[in-house]
Every structure is written in structure tokens, then in C-alpha cells.
Structure 1
Amino acid sequence: MKFSRLLAVLALAAGLSGTGASGAGAAERVRVGILKFGTVAWEMDVVRANKLDAANGVAVETVDLASPDAARIAFQAGEVDTIVSDVLWAARLRAEGKPVVYVPFSAAEGSVMVASGAPIRSVGDLKAKKIGVAGGPLDKGWLLLQAYAKKTAGLDLAREAEPVYGAPPLLQQKLESGELDAALIYWNFAARLEAKGFRELVSVEGAARGLGAEGQVALIGYVFRQDFADAHPDLVKGFVAASRAAKALLAGQDAEWTRIRPIMRADDDATFAALKRRFVEGVPSRPIAEEARDAAGLYAQIAAIGGERLVGPAKTLPDGTYWQGK
């Protein structure tokens, strides 16, 4: 896998929690907002530990943030230069006159999980069932699942099932206790359930392919302000290359996984293996043009269900949403 020459990355003002690359000297820095135990933290740890930033003229500095909402606030306030968010949010900002560019981070998405012995064998079997939904009624995975159920089973999940919205840890607990029939839950929680013997009914990726996507679509990615990307093109290019190099290491070296295991919160080998496998399976590998084409098709279907509350004024994916650097 070839990676462009790096020239970029992260800085942060005093008072915010961060870790810089040692010996980066005159290298530009970019501040990356992360959740302490999130998968972006895994990747940034690999970048720093292997000096992928310093080796490529880049200085990475991470800023710990408490939640996805806090990350979005910090990004919009200019306290960090980039965060990982979803392509819907990036598109909405762009449509509202706050231009940003989006770089795919991961195609690992959520899954509908059920107990191994549950009689639920297809999306159609979710009729009249109590379904836990992480992320709320406008979560992209939930909207894609609704569109998929409508297309393949003629089922209106929002009306003909009983969605229960909640935080992923709570939904995992309720599914394990039998209080839920199924749960649409983020991929890392799905991996933990898989390790406990639960079964995947359908993944968000599977739903996306059922709706016309020709391959994996990374629905979460790094978001940069357009003016920042325009002013620092080599920085963004370098950061993206460092990110890709870290993913390549994780895809090919078991030793790296062993090293970062403490921050993965994988208490047993089955959970560790499931988290590792699902992360690697989600590493983006498609050309940006193909990603953008499939994302545009999915966006239109999600927007039709979520409406203006979800996507704002943009009924189609705005031109220029995807970063076109090499």
C-alpha cells in the first residue's frame, strides 16, 4: 500500500489535555479531538508510538473530549482542527454555509444483534419486537435499517416495531438481560456481544449494500474546516497518510494490537479478537470517487426518512464534501 509523503498535524493550547509527537520541532501540528477510549484514540496511539508523525514531518497532538457532542462543539469553536464524525453531519455543515471536508476513517458500522437462540432470522421478523437503538431516532444506522426493512420486507420499523432509544452500554445490558428482543448497536459494542455468544442479524453495512451501495462505505470520517484544509493542504495530506499508515500497521501486525490492548478495554480474549477483526474489516480501501458515489446514494435515502431535522437544507450530498487530496 503506497502512502503520500506526510507533512502535517496537531497542536493544542495549554489547558487542554494532549500528547504531542516528540522531536517534531518545526513540523506543523494539528489538534485532533478524541474520545479517550474510542477507536480514534487507538489509531492516534499507533501513530505516536511508531513515530509515524515525526517520520513524515508531522506533529500529532490529541485532545481528550468527553462525548461526541463535546467533540462537535470543540470543533466548531476552533478548539481542535479535526474530529471524527459522520458524513451526514459534514454534509449538513457544508449545506448550512459552514464548509468542511470529509476524509473516510472507518467503514465499521453498527449491527442488529440478537440472542443466539432468538427466533428472529430476518429483518421481517422484527415486526412487533422491542428493538434497542443506539444514537436516537435520527441515527444514520437506524435510518438505513428502516429503509432496508421497507425495501426488503415491506416493514415500517418505526411504526410496526417498538424502538427503544438509549446509550450503547445500557442497550447492551438490556439485550443481555432479555429486556430487548434485538439491539441496533455500534460496532464495538456489537463485538463485545458477539464475544458473549450473541448473533448478528444484519449489519449497517449489509443494509447499505441492500440499498444499492456497491462496496463498503465509510460513514464516519475525519472532518476538517475547508479554510483550514485550503490553508494547510500539505498538513492535511500528511495527516491522512499517517492515519493510513497506522491502519496498515494494525492490519498487519499482531504486536501492535497487543500493545494497545489496555486502551481497548478488552477484558477477555474473545472480546479482544472480535474488536480487532471488526476494526480491520472496516479499514477503508476504496477510491474516494467510489466512496462518494455510494455515499451520495445512501445520503438521499437517509435524507428522505430523516428530513430536515437530520440533514438541514441539503436533500442531496453537497458537492465538495469529500476531501480530494491524494
Structure 2
Amino acid sequence: MISRREALRLAALGTATILGAHPIAASAASKLRIGVLKFGTVSWELDTLKHHGFDAANGIELDVIYFAGEDATNVAMLAGAIDMIVTDWLWVSRQRSDGGDVTFAPYSTAVGAIMVKDASPIRTIADLKGKKLGVAGGALDKSWLLIQALARRDHGLDLPSVSDVVFGAPPLISQKAIQGELDAALNFWHFCARLEAGGFRRLIGADDAQTALGASGPVSALGYVFHDKWANENPQAARGFLKASAQAKDLLARSDEEWLRLAPIIRAEGPELAKLRDRYREGIPRRPVAEEAADAGKLYRVLAGIGGEKLVGSAPEMAPGTFWLEPPQ
């Protein structure tokens, strides 16, 4: 009988193989294996990073391995099949509270928003009462929970009770909103950007809710996640990757031409590509990590209060070490 750890490792390898990913090689100081979703927005940054050789310039060999879903990337990293993934700090905190050593380096502060058509009479959260609201990401999506918390505090509204809430995959929620089958739609940031380019406006963003609920500035929704042990054993790989990531972000922040190069990957052009570019740029983390971590701790308490154990487990506070504070060289 094989161990559970070995079973997870084999399952992760199988998932990657099905998708035709690069072979997974043994880890080395200069080698970094990152698992990402095939059509996720992270691939835009990683394509930029590799196309311009920022990985090699920072002494690393980046192996990008594609997976079918987020759960598969989580399993693969926990099983040791890859070194790094992209996920949220709530998952990291829960792992650490359960004895794990994964940690989080900010990737993007871009978050979802509730979108309505330009001509919609809906102007505030209170106007969602009695309306049909589509929500991507499920009942425990962070953006949905934060907006619920704000609606309760400022308007005395329990949105799941006073609105007709339906859940669905992000593409489906956008499609139903465009077709007029929903009065409003809460979706991930890049789906919102595409809707903006097509005649929708933002009613309220999860970033607005974060600020209203106590955050002093933008907090990264997603980050590059890896094991403390791996970073300690491979400090040059960890630092080199984060430097390469910063260089790719800098190029994407200042070069419109780079976005035109990425257009076939992004599957957008014209106003839609421009809106995705602008929203991506707004989501580039620019605050000290310690400040983001402090604000995430505040938001964790809000989320724990509304999401309960299904979301955070039994830990009432964000676990220490959730955000990676790079040690001095």
C-alpha cells in the first residue's frame, strides 16, 4: 500500500501529464517549478517573464507546469511535485494553522466587483434588494463575503436573504449578465474588466469593501505560495523568482506594446485589451509586505466572522508567517 503523500504526488503528476506539461524534473537551487492554471491571468506575467529572459537574468530556470484546476495545483505543491503555486492567503493561513509551513508573497491586489449594465437603475448595495445577483466563486468567495459584511454593517441587509442569489462559473455568470438574465453580477477581476469594455459599470468592488472594513490600502488577493523550508534551502531561487516577477510587472506597467504582444494569449483586443491592461496595472502590489499582512489580519477577522469554520477552520486569527517577509541577504 502506498502512503497518502505518495498517492497525492502521483495524482499531481498525472494531472500535469494529461495537460501535456513540461516533464517535472528534480529540484535544484537554480530550478523552480511553478504550477499554474492553463488559462489563468498569471500566465500573462509568466509569459512576459520568460519571453524577456528575466528568469535567466536572475539566476533561475523557471519550469511552468499547467494544471486543470486550483485544487490540483494545491495538491501538487503539498505533495512536493512542484515548488510554487498561486493562491490566496486564506488558504495559506489555514494550512499554517494546521501545522503546515506554506507562505505567501503578494502577486496581485486585483479583486472582483459587482457589475451592472450602464443603464441599470441599481446605484448602491441597498438597491440589490429583491434583485437577481449572480456570484462567481461560490458561497465562500472572499469578495462575496466582504461585500456581504459591508451590506450588513452599512445597510442592515443580509444579501443572501433579500436577493435572489445564484452561483456559477465565471464565464457563465458573465454570459448571463450580458444576456440580461441577471440584474447584477459579482465576478473575478478580469471578467469584470471584459464586462466594463462591453457596456457595464462597477457598482462596488471588493477593494472598496476592504477599505471600508478597515484595510488602510490594497491587499493582495493572490500571491506566489511556497514552503518556508524550500525558500530556506533555495534562497537564491526564491529571491531570483520574485525579482524576475517584479521586472515582468514593471514592463507590463509601462509598455503598451507588451500587451499587444500578449493579445493572442489574453484573447482580447481593442478596448477590451486596454481595460484588462489598465485593471492589471492597478492590481500591481506597491506597498510594503508588512503593511499588507497587517491589513490582511484585519480582514481575516471580518471573513472569519461571516464565513465561519467552513472558511477558516478553527483559527480565530490569521496564522503568523502567512505573508513571507524576505530575510535579509
Q: Does residue 293 of structure 1 match 2:294?
A: yes
> Is the 8 Å Cα contact of residues 96 and 102 (structure 2) preserved in structure 1?
yes
1:164-183 alignment, distance < 5 Å: 164-183=166-185
1:320 Cα deviation from its structure 2 partner: 0.9
Match of 2:56 among 54, 57, 65: 54
1:77 Cα deviation from its structure 2 partner: 2.1
Q: What is the match of residue 147 of structure 2?
A: 145
> Is the 8 Å Cα contact of residues 31 and 60 (structure 1) preserved in structure 2?
yes
1:268-283 alignment, distance < 5 Å: 268-283=269-284
> Is the 8 Å Cα contact of residues 117 and 200 (structure 2) preserved in structure 1?
yes
Q: Which runs of 5+ in 2 are unaligned?
A: 1-12
> Is the 8 Å Cα contact of residues 33 and 82 (structure 1) preserved in structure 2?
yes
> Is the 8 Å Cα contact of residues 27 and 57 (structure 1) preserved in structure 2?
no
Q: Percent identity?
A: 49
Match of 1:197 among 199, 211, 216: 199
Distance across 1 between alignment mates of 2:37 and 2:321 = 27
Q: Does residue 320 of structure 1 match 2:321?
A: yes
Q: Does residue 18 of structure 1 match 2:19?
A: no
> Is the 8 Å Cα contact of residues 30 and 236 (structure 2) preserved in structure 1?
no
Q: What is the match of residue 4 of structure 2?
A: none
Distance across 1 between alignment mates of 2:55 and 2:66 = 19
- Give the partner amino acid of 1:236: A
Q: Does residue 214 of structure 1 match 2:192?
A: no
What secondary structure sits across from 2:54 in the alignment? coil
What secondary structure sits across from 1:285 in the alignment? coil
Q: What is the match of residue 310 of structure 1?
A: 311
Q: What is the match of residue 63 of structure 1?
A: 65
- Give the partner amino acid of 2:286: S
Q: What is the match of residue 45 of structure 1?
A: 47
- Give the partner amino acid of 1:319: P
Match of 2:76 among 74, 77, 81: 74
Match of 1:102 among 96, 101, 104: 104
Q: What is the match of residue 93 of structure 1?
A: 95
What secondary structure sits across from 1:256 in the alignment? helix
Distance across 1 between alignment mates of 2:179 and 2:298 = 38
Q: Does 63-72 or 204-213 show the bigger shift?
A: 63-72
What secondary structure sits across from 1:255 in the alignment? helix
Distance across 2 between alignment mates of 1:321 and 1:19 = 30
1:216-231 alignment, distance < 5 Å: 216-231=218-233
Distance of aligned partners of 1:80 and 1:252 in 2 relative to their CA distance in 1, 3 Å threshold = same
TM-score (norm 2): 0.90
What secondary structure sits across from 2:33 in the alignment? strand
> Is the 8 Å Cα contact of residues 297 and 318 (structure 2) preserved in structure 1?
yes
Distance across 2 between alignment mates of 1:104 and 1:159 = 34
- Give the partner amino acid of 2:138: G
Distance across 2 between alignment mates of 1:28 and 1:234 = 7
Distance of aligned partners of 1:92 and 1:259 in 2 relative to their CA distance in 1, 3 Å threshold = same
Q: Does residue 261 of structure 1 match 2:244?
A: no
1:69 Cα deviation from its structure 2 partner: 2.0
Distance across 2 between alignment mates of 1:298 and 1:18 = 38
Match of 1:249 among 248, 251, 255: 251
